[in-house]
Amino acid sequence: MAFIEKGQEIDIEAIKAETQLSAEALRLKERRDRELADIISGEDDRILLVIGPCSSDNEEAVLEYAHRLSALQKKVADKIFIVMRVYTAKPRTNGDGYKGLVHQPDTSKAPSLINGLQAVRQLHYRVITETGLTTADEMLYPSNLVLVDDLVSYHAVGARSVEDQEHRFVASGIDAPVGMKNPTSGNLGVMFNAIYAAQNKQTFLYHGQEVETSGNPLAHVILRGAVNEYGKNEPNFYYETLLNAIERYEAMGLENPFILIDTNHDNSGKQYMEQIRIVRQTLQNRDWNEKIKKTVRGFMIESYLADGRQNQPEVFGCSITDPCLGWENTEALVEEIYATLTK
């Protein structure tokens, strides 16, 4: 049992220097970041869509998707604000399988973390500079935040990480919205405790130094469903669950109550076409209840160029992790959301 050093020490600052935003790109990102913050805080009533592939496994496929999504954003911008999922690190239930771009930037080759770190920055950079969209990523490794803190506009803490103190404390210092998912057990108390920790000042060791954070008022809820002790999916996007979550927000006095519905994972049972029904039902719930309408103001949708998934990267733009909506279904769904909001 040992840690074995592989390769030379990685210079993160040197990697970051290769992909610095121009003044124009930085202004665009800052403007969109302000709009996103206004949506989370309730000053802007548009619906937030955090949408894109389950995993960003192929740079060219992701960029093709990004260009299409950017064109769609322009059509719906008065009602919908889109942040693109560019997920570059994937949690694995048992440690096996594809672990994301950061581990394996070329799926036909062996893992390479040094190349992976470069690929992660390059992809976020290209999406921003070539399409005008801003990006979301999962904060799987808090120590890697420094790699993308100047590029990523929305961070998610996953179901397996939300109980971890380092994730909670690092989230409290991020100058961007952080969505906290409920754990796989479905325990909402765990998630709300994570949000409380993230919204408050924390002192801890980070990168070998004692730091104090300011607290992150933009930390918020992502409901992603659960799995019970018998392995059965238990969705938590239903009307009663939403009211329960809103009551917890009120009872804890948390800032900026905001709920994002993850339409895949254990809400859909990974039946990707169910995402459409989940969006429709949630929009109906918003119409039926003013509190829900005020608080449930976003969706996280897994979507790519081709429907479904594949075990090996044979079909361009088809997921190699969780199944996703293809582009035609994605475009139709976003247009349906827009039409519903404009009634």
Tokens at 152, concatenated: 């990523």
Range of the domain at 291: 12-341
Buried b vs exposed e over 71-94: b needs ≥16 C-beta within 10 Å? ebbeebeeebbbbbbbbbbbeeee
Residue 7 lies in a domain: no
Residue 1 lies in a domain: no
- Partners of residue 50 on adjacent β-strands: 83, 300
Report the alpha-carbon distance of residue 157 to residue 145 in Å, rounded: 12
The whole-angstrom distance between residue 65's C-alpha and the CA centroid of its chain comes to: 16
Q: What is the pLDDT of residue 320?
A: 95
For residue 5, is pLDDT > 90? Answer: no
- Selected residue with higher pLDDT from 111 and 296: 296
For residue 136, is pLDDT > 90? Answer: yes
* pLDDT-derived band at 235, boundaries 50, 70, 90: very high
- Residue range 11-65, pLDDT digits in tens: 889 999 999 999 999 999 999 999 999 999 999 999 999 999 999 999 999 999 9
CATH number at residue 213: 3.20.20.70
Bridge-based pairing state of the strands 219-227 and 233-234: antiparallel
Residue 281 lies in a domain: yes
Residue 67 lies in a domain: yes
Average pLDDT of the chain to the nearest whole number:
96
For residue 91, is pLDDT > 90? Answer: no
pLDDT above 90 covers a percentage of the chain that reads: 89
Taking CA atoms, 343 is separated from 5, 28, 64, 287, 294, in Å, by 59, 30, 31, 11, 17
Please check whether residue 325 is in contact with residue 273, taking contact to mean a CB–CB distance below 8 angstroms.
Answer: yes
Residue 3 lies in a domain: no
Q: What is the pLDDT of residue 297?
A: 99
Mean pLDDT value across residues 328-335: 99
Nearest to 258 by CA among 84, 39, 82: 39
For residue 190, is pLDDT > 90? Answer: yes
The number of folded domains in the chain is 1
* pLDDT-derived band at 335, boundaries 50, 70, 90: very high
Residue 33 lies in a domain: yes
Q: Model pTM greater than 0.95?
A: yes
* pLDDT-derived band at 93, boundaries 50, 70, 90: confident
Residue 319 lies in a domain: yes
Mean pLDDT value across residues 109-138: 95
Mean pLDDT value across residues 112-123: 93
Report the alpha-carbon distance of residue 291 to residue 320 in Å, rounded: 38
For residue 246, is pLDDT > 80? Answer: yes
Report the alpha-carbon distance of residue 80 to residue 103 in Å, rounded: 33
Residue 29 lies in a domain: yes
* pLDDT-derived band at 182, boundaries 50, 70, 90: very high
Determine how many CB atoms are found less than 10 A away from the CB of residue 61: 20
Mean pLDDT value across residues 245-260: 98
Report the alpha-carbon distance of residue 191 to residue 224 in Å, rounded: 11
